[in-house]
Amino acid sequence: MLCEMGLYAQKQEPAYDPHYLIIKVDQNYSLRTSDQNVFDLNKFKKEHQGSSFSPLFKQQQKSSQPSVLEGIFKIEFKDPQDIKAIIRSVENLGNIIYAEPVYLDYQLQIPNDPSANPSSGNQYYLTNINAYNAWDVSTSDTTITVGIIDTGYNPDHEDLQNIQYNYADPINGIDDDGNGYIDDFMGWDFADSDNEPIADQDDHGSHVAGISSAETGNAIGIAGVGFNARYVPVKIFQSSNGFSNNAYESIIYAADQGYDVINLSWGSINTFLQHRQDIINYAALEKDVVIVAAAGNTPDNLNFYPASYDNVLSVAASDQTDNKTSFSTYSYHVDLMAPGIDIYSTKNGSYGTDFGTSFASPMVAGAAALLRSHFPDWSAIQIMEQLRVTSDNVYDVGDNSNYDSLLGKGRLNIHSALTDSTSKSVRLSSLDINNGVGSYAYFG
The residues annotated as belonging to the active site are 150, 204, 358
Bond into 14 cis (ω within 30): no
Q: Give the number of C-alpha atoms closer than 13 A to the C-alpha of residue 333, restricted to the C-beta side.
A: 23
Q: What is the DSSP string of 196-257?
A: --B--S--HHHHHHHHHH---SSSSS---TTTT-EEEEEE-B-TTT--B-SHHHHHHHHHHT
CA distance 25 to 215: 45
Vertex 337, ends 334 and 340: CA angle to 5°?
120
| Phi, psi for residue 438 in degrees, rounded to 5 | -175, -175
Are 311 and 385 a contacting pair, CB within 8 Å? Answer: no
CA distance 228 to 88: 50
Within 10 angstroms of residue 268's Cβ, the number of other Cβ atoms is 22
Are 371 and 378 a contacting pair, CB within 8 Å? Answer: yes
